Structure 1
Amino acid sequence: MASIGILFLFFIVIRAQSEEKTFVKVECKTGNAGQYGQQSVLDCVVKTAEEVKDPKILAVAWKKKGSEDPLLVFHKGETKGQPGYRFAESSWNDRNMNISLLITNTMMVNSGDYTCLVMTDCGDDITETSLRVTAKYNKPTISSIPEKITQREDVILLCSSVGGYPEGQLRWFDEHNKDWTASSKMEAELTNDGLFKLSSKLSLLKNSIFSKYTCVVFNSSGSKEDEVTLEIPDTATSKGQGEVKGSDQTSKIVAPLVVIGSLIVGLLLALLIYRRRSQRHHREVPTFESNAEQGGHVEMYKEHEDGTALSLPLSGDCSCHMDITTY
């Protein structure tokens, strides 16, 4: 590998001093996109002038800027490379002008600028390209403080998503798709593997909690990547309202019972009053009347405490007598 580094330096010096016509040119895609954890390809091909017939590649070297050792080298008929790097075409040989570099497992450290050097039997060239690595965020997760949600106390919803790059965003939506992101607070933490961990906290006030909240993760381009929904049980979200509804239902049941009970009590009171009046009417009534001029008499019954009645003649023509009548 050290010899290839010297070869790079020597080649650059020679190129700087050379003013001859170039018969070979390496053309690479200016920018390449790679996905974290997937394979990435840096596209490069060798182009030759029309007068060049059946060119043969003598040496190829791929090097990442900032790194001392080349990643992949073909020299003197042998191919050597660091683990995870090889030619994109598995059957590549010195007659194949496609010298694209394949990264088998793309990591964040692979993001950056690359240099490709090519030497042929008809000329040499060196060019640069770049790789931009992105990572898709994992499906978010939601938790709450407290774990059991009710309408009687404030609640904090926590959402997090990891494994993404570049920095994305977490947004909150309720059951009516209203955006509550402005009421939340998000933090982005860069982890050891070069990826971001996103965390968002949404505070909810008691008696104003919806039955569903969705946390959505967006990438740096603003595209939606994944989401998770927290459904709050009806018994939790409507506990306060349920108590009111339960009270209303109870009132609907009790009210008719109260009315019926009042009617029954009223009827019983009316019956009791009627009965007392009837008893009073029977206890104090005149038995008969006769005209005093005809020698008649009137007898009145007066009730005693022991339930007996005393008959008193009211006419002077009649002899006094007392009848004791027991009811």
Structure 2
Amino acid sequence: MSLHAEPEIRPVPPRPAYDGTSPFPRTAPLLRTPGARWQLAATAVIVAFPFLAVVLAGWVLWGNVLGPVDVVLAVVFYVLTGLGITVGFHRLLTHRSFTAAPALRLLLGVAGSMSFQGDVIGWVATHRRHHAFTDRPGDPHSPFRYGTGVRGQFRGLVHAHVGWLFAGDSSPADRYAPDLLADRSTRALARAFPALCVISLALPFAIGWAIGGTLHDALTALLWAGLVRVALLQHVTWSVNSLCHMIGERPFRTRRHDRATNLWPLALLSFGESWHNLHHAEPTCARHGVDRGQLDPTAAAIRLFERLGWATDVHWPDPRRLDGRRQ
């Protein structure tokens, strides 16, 4: 089976040789304009706002019981928005692991945008840049940014998990996602990101009120299926950036300096994204968990879409290629 072509990325000026252990060269912040400062402020709100869920959760649990409606809504919204990221933003739009029918592509984009992880074009551009410069200068969120010493790795872990969001190191969409910029529907979806975030919280609130009939029911649904769900999904996604480059197994060869690992405890919560070592060895593969017992709900969803005729040209793993990649 032939591989899908990865999206073309414009070449960048040559960088000094990297030895794999030194801190990355310092670069001047790229975001200096008033508009960029608003962007950083919006990022702060997106990241900090769900943390309120922790405080609110303590208040709700104090003398109260978490209701079954809250649990069901939280799981449903977590699955829908999580698969929007993993199936839609990641395996479809970033790596072109399959071709989706227009309606499915739009629905996945909407679901992913409701996860509070940034607009679709910015998300894809950042992730493609990560693959172009994995764990070496140019990677926007490598945990080895500050070197491989104990102190440097601790700083790098914080940077890879959440600090990179505030570094002002943008990934230009015209370089890393020109295909999405050229698509009118994707540009419209990116512009709709703020509205979709509001909808992502308004829907649990409205459904909780409709089912329970009280403001308390609406607020608990907003808390668990809105804020807590958003916070959990964000940190699971960011853990793939951070933990899945520092902890775990590396059964497959990757490019030089690429330290992506498989981290099984995150497999279910990340919908299979934490089989990160295989993903970096075969980025366009539609399945990341390729060995026995490796749960990959994202691949299962893609398989379902394929059987329904909504996904075609799926790049499933080739055992011979995988055997050639094993260490």
- Name the structure with the higher strand share: 1
Band of TM-score, shorter chain: under 0.3
Question: What is the TM-score with the length of structure 1 in the denominator?
Answer: 0.17
- Name the structure with the higher helix share: 2
Which entry has the higher C-alpha Rg, 1 or 2?
A: 1
